[in-house]
Structure 1
Amino acid sequence: MRLAVAYDVSSDSNRRQVYRTLQRYGAWKQYSVFELEVNKTERVELEDELESHINPDDGDRIRIYRLCDSCLDDISDIGAEPPDEQSNVL
């Protein structure tokens, strides 16, 4: 299944862990946004790992959207080129 994951994490060290976790599963598309291709088992593992890297008391949030096949055909990029492979993580 294809997922889009957006995150807002306040702590630099936690943000780094979230970024590195997502990087193992998919592609960095925009600041704090990844697209992933995972199976059901990997999604459960991913969600468990991400949950361990955030602190909800600090306002940290991660949103995961499932992208259906027909949705993939409707993705548009407007504006600047997507970020290069360099990390935006401090």
Structure 2
Amino acid sequence: MTEKKSKGPTKAELTRKLKEMEAQLASSYHFASATLEKAGNLAASAVVVELTALGGRQLINPVAIRGGLSPETITALRKDIARSWDETTELKPIR
């Protein structure tokens, strides 16, 4: 009798996991914050915003924000990026 091999993860699942892991690197926070200004003041253009939770669950469907992000949104995103970077790089005691 031959054993059935269980199927491994799909290419899409592996791609999503890689993207999630790269997004959590400390260097990703720096470059995201440094280039965030490019998302503002886009006359006659738009940015597409989509939010996906770790694990692939879509929180917000893609939506075009015409004219780019507002200065207030860019400031708020920078604060969230800084907070997340702090949490990522925080040394936690071993229990």
Range into which the TM-score falls when normalised by the shorter chain: under 0.3
Structure (1 or 2) with the greater strand fraction: 1
Q: Max radius of gyration: which structure?
A: 2
Looking at both structures, which has the greater relative contact order when contacts are Cα pairs under 8 Å and sequence separation is at least 6?
1
Could you tell me the TM-score, scaled by structure 2's length?
0.27
Could you tell me the TM-score, scaled by structure 1's length?
0.28
